[in-house]
Amino acid sequence: MNSNRCRAAILISGSGSNLQAFIDQVAGQQLELDIVQVISNRLDAFGLTRASKAGIATHCLLHDQFADRESFDRALARELDDARPDLLILAGFMRILSPWFVAHYNGRILNIHPALLPAYPGLNTHQRVLDAGEQWHGSTVHFVTEQLDGGPGVLQGRLLVAADEAAADLARRVQAVEHQIYPATAAMFASGRLEYRAGAAWLDGERLQQPVVRDF
């Protein structure tokens, strides 16, 4: 590990295909950061297996063993802080974070949401997009603030919804986009090009009024 490189911790709850994209890009030297830890709140998260295979330290912290949201978050932060992360990457981490946790890592948490935020926050986005007959769909990488799915967007990957597309197919296509835009955003942060300041995302010294959009 290089001591100057950005130290990233990745939080997961499930399959971890985004985690895998990070692992692959770091291994292939397309992404310059170190994944110092992977934490899951579910024992059966396949992402834990992916991380172990890659030789990354893993930890599982079960939220149902804590009295309330903040005590889980404080235990999570204790675990994370031992690994001294510069950046937290939420990759399918199915937990709402407490204001305490968000403040503790102020401006250092990224999330990816499978929709073109601010459209379609919340769950089940692919089906909702299809039901609404939308032309465009995609995914958004954003900084995490106290507002669920509401922090400033950085990078959006956008694609055209195909005629008669099934939700599962659309989900697959959106995930393939995620596997590109999420490591790309983390790379911007790791190199110092991207930062969170005064409630906004700044890229190359300019305040982003809206996320950068890439079409796929």
Q: Which residues bind ligand GRF (CB under 6 A)?
A: 12, 14-19, 91-92, 112-114, 139, 175, 178
- Cβ proximity of 33 and 187 under 8 Å: yes
Residue 210 CB, shortest distance to ligand GRF, in Å, is: 19
- Which of 104, 173 has the CB closer to ligand GRF? 173
Residue 91 CB, shortest distance to ligand GRF, in Å, is: 5
Instruction: Please state the separation of Cα 70 from the chain's center in Å.
Output: 20
Residue 179 CB, shortest distance to ligand GRF, in Å, is: 8
Least Cα distance to 56 among 93, 78, 32, 83 occurs for 83
- Which of 139, 145 has the CB closer to ligand GRF? 139
Q: Which residues contact 150 (CB under 8 A, 6 or more apart)?
A: 117, 118, 121
CA distances from 78 to 57, 71, 98, 204 (A): 15, 11, 15, 32
- Which of 17, 37 has the CB closer to ligand GRF? 17
One of 59, 63, 104, 113 is an active-site residue; which one?
113
> Active-site residue 126, yes or no?
no
Which residues form the catalytic set? 113
